[in-house]
Amino acid sequence: MLVVVLFAASMHFMHQSGCAADLKTGSTGDISEALRLESGAAGYGLASGTLLVLLVASFARSALGRVGVAAATGLLFYAVFLAGAFEVAVEAAKSCL
């Protein structure tokens, strides 16, 4: 449950960042505020990903299995986080600015 809450908080900060400024073009909005919000999103995303990796790895039976499962989960989470964060920020920039 905490993983989902932290991930949602991260996406909320990304949305606020997209509303604060368009970082892709740098043409509109307050760039420093958008970067501050993205830093907050990265922190919550890192916490969420770390908790998810620890949770999933705890189910593996062997030490080698834990490492493999943790690595796979971390890579998958990272890809989903980046894609989601980019999409949320772009859609927010379109709708808010």
Neighbours of 34 (CB within 10 A): 22
Beta-ladder partners of 21: 29
Q: Give me the pLDDT at residue 97, please.
A: 60
| pLDDT band per the 50, 70, 90 thresholds, residue 27 | low
User: What percentage of the chain exceeds 90 in pLDDT?
Assistant: 58
Q: Give me the pLDDT at residue 1, please.
A: 87
40 burial (CB, 10 Å; 0-12 / 13-18 / 19+) is: middle
Instruction: Compute the CA torsion angle 85, 86, 91, 93 (nearest 10 deg).
Output: 100
Say whether pLDDT at 83 is over 70. yes
Q: Give me the pLDDT at residue 72, please.
A: 94
